[in-house]
A and B are shown apart, each in its own frame.
Chain A
């Protein structure tokens, strides 16, 4: 079993670039795909990144993601920040026991 750790909050001004990290506590971050979900208040999560760095249809290319094996972490980067990006963001990967493992979530505030 492992834990995915995210910062509680990040913020940025419109037009800026923000990055949200997701650090895996044990085992290699490259061993299992990482997904990222956005959840606006009162709505279910929706995917913004799957399989480490792939964007679902309809997600703008302002959203990108990467994997860094040296820090054993994944990162979600949102460029050209818009007010509509304000939401909670969750990383997610998988595990042989718990199957789905979610990070604790990061609240993105657009200032």
Chain B
């Protein structure tokens, strides 16, 4: 059974750094892309970026480029989303989501599996 298990909720102060994780189970982690999606509480979904664990090829949403870093450690089937300096506006739920693929590195624009979400709260 495919599962995406994310790290727990975080409370941080503005200016602090943070790295959250998403661990994949039940499939060949290296051969499926992994995306991050943001949801400000009470608001809609926003795609942030995507990474291919096989070679760490990464693409970012133009609106978020430079604000976050997406990385992966394929040896432990884990993708990461990190900030070097958090802002109050980063307060949101962050989901990892797997685009459907066939295990060859190809990708469709349909998320067939989602993590449970990580709530990040940034407040002084």
Contacts and interface: CB of A to CB of B under 8 A. Distances in A.
A94 B33 CA distance: 15
21 contacts: A33-B109, A33-B110, A37-B45, A37-B111, A44-B117, A45-B45, A45-B95, A47-B111, A50-B100, A50-B112, A51-B110, A56-B112, A97-B62, A99-B47, A99-B50, A100-B35, A100-B37, A100-B109, A101-B47, A103-B44, A105-B44
Nearest to A93: B109
B57 interface: no
Nearest to B107: A99
Interface of A: 32-33, 35, 37, 44-47, 50-51, 56, 90, 92-94, 97-105
Contact of B109 (A35, A37, A97): A35
Most chain A C-beta atoms within 10 Å of own C-beta, residue among B35, B59, B61, B111: B111
Give chain B's interface residue range (CB within 8 Å of chain A).
20 to 34
Given A93-B109, A99-B47, A44 B62 contact: no
Nearest to B112: A47
B101 interface: no
Interface of B: 35, 37, 44-47, 50, 59, 61-62, 95, 100, 108-112, 114-117
B44 A90 contact: yes
Nearest to B59: A99
A102 B112 contact: no
B95 A98 contact: no
B10 to A, nearest CB: 17
B45 A46 contact: no
Most chain A C-beta atoms within 10 Å of own C-beta, residue among B37, B95, B110: B110
Given A47-B111, A47-B112, A50-B112, 9 more contacts: A45-B95, A90-B44, A93-B109, A100-B109, A101-B47, A102-B44, A102-B46, A102-B47, A104-B44
B45 A102 contact: yes
B61 to A, nearest CB: 6
B45 A90 contact: yes
Nearest to B116: A44
